Amino acid sequence: MVEELDRQELDVKEKEEKVEKKEEVKKPEKPELSMKSLLEAGVHFGHQKRRWNPQMRPYIFSARNGIHIMDLSQTLPLLKEAKEFISDIAAEGKKVIFVGTKRQASDVITEEAQRSGSYYVSTRWLGGTLTNFKTIQSRMDHLVKLEEAREAGEFKRLTKKEAQKQEDSIRRLNRYLGGIKEMTEMPGALFIVDIGKENLAVAEAKRVGVPVVALVDSDCDPTLVDQVVPGNDDAIRSIRLVASQIAESVIEGQHRREAMQAEMAEEAAGIKTSEVKLKKDLETKEAEAEEDVESENVDTVDAEDTKS
């Protein structure tokens, strides 16, 4: 019976994914965040009741046909709260890593991270990415140097076999590190799709003190993350909606930072202009004072000559 239910759930999800892939080709404009958009994206669908994690009880509205239904009246404000959190992180000049390596999430995570200028891991989270950052960074530096050597035409000096070996190294390293190869310091936060599958990333983030924002399905433990967004982490449309909202928040935070920097630059320029003007005014007054002194001296000499 259990195996039959698993097959039925798998069949339903496969059908949903086929429909979603057809819709992905059209790539419609991103809907505004609302209860309606969450419903249309299927964010409310959880897993079968028997697979649930009791810690998700507060975020579950009901069950229908043996499937848990998320409480979107909680998902909506929690997603908005997560967006504000991510926007503030970006406004501080910190980077966010988008993490989602399963088939349904991989492409979406890559696209939305690139769109927002964020880092991403969409194939496999390498152990030590955060907890052994120096070692991982040395591999990233090696990748960057290989790519620079290729761009400079240095591979042309190698034998065909050696050049191919270097190309294979670039391809392999890019597969796992391409999305974070420019990372030089710890990220400000992680955005994760499916904390069950990405449990290593969650554990590393917690260990080094990096906050986690996550799309959390009914079979996961929400207490493991800092900002919970209860919702379907299996359907492509659901993942895209939430990931795109997080990406928009990154972009909004970056714009806020740019605006603040521009304002500070204007204030600094204004202060400098005022200082220059003040300096010129002082120089003018000093020059006028010197002229007055010279004029008085001349008058004194003339008066003495007249007496003589």
pLDDT in tens, 144-167: 999 999 999 999 999 999 999 999
Residue 212 confidence (pLDDT) above 70? yes
What is the structure's pLDDT at 8?
46
pLDDT in tens, 85-112: 999 999 999 999 999 999 999 999 999 9
Helix (H, G, I), strand (E, B) or coil at 128: coil
> Could you tell me the pLDDT band of residue 300, with boundaries at 50, 70 and 90?
low
Of 271 and 58, which is predicted with more confidence? 58
What is the structure's pLDDT at 269?
76
Residue 78 confidence (pLDDT) above 90? yes
CA distance 11 to 83: 33
CA distance 114 to 130: 20
pLDDT in tens, 248-257: 999 999 999 9
What is the structure's pLDDT at 302?
58
Residue 262 confidence (pLDDT) above 50? yes
* Contacts with 11 (C-beta within 8 Å, 6 or more apart), sequence order: none
Of the listed ranges 17-21, 228-232, 242-246, the least confidently predicted one is: 17-21
Q: Which helix (H) or strand (E) holds 27?
A: none
What are the structural domains of the chain?
Answer: 41-259 (3.40.50.10490)
What is the structure's pLDDT at 292?
67
What is the structure's pLDDT at 270?
73
- The pTM for the full model equals 0.78
What is the structure's pLDDT at 305?
60
Of the listed ranges 18-32, 53-67, 90-104, 216-230, the least confidently predicted one is: 18-32
Residue 6 confidence (pLDDT) above 60? no
CB 43 within 8 A of CB 244: no
Q: Which helix (H) or strand (E) holds 25?
A: helix 2-26
Per residue in 96-117, is it b (16+ CB within 10 Å) or e — as a string?
A: bbbbbbbebbbebbbbbbeebe
CA distance 108 to 173: 21
Residue 211 confidence (pLDDT) above 90? yes
Residue 3 confidence (pLDDT) above 70? no
Residue 24 confidence (pLDDT) above 80? no
What is the structure's pLDDT at 166?
94
Residue 25 confidence (pLDDT) above 50? no
Nearest partner of 108 among 30, 206, 181, 171, judged by Cα: 30
**What percent of the chain is modeled with pLDDT above 70?**
82
pLDDT in tens, 279-289: 777 777 777 77
Residue 191 confidence (pLDDT) above 80? yes
pLDDT in tens, 213-241: 999 999 999 999 999 999 999 999 999 99
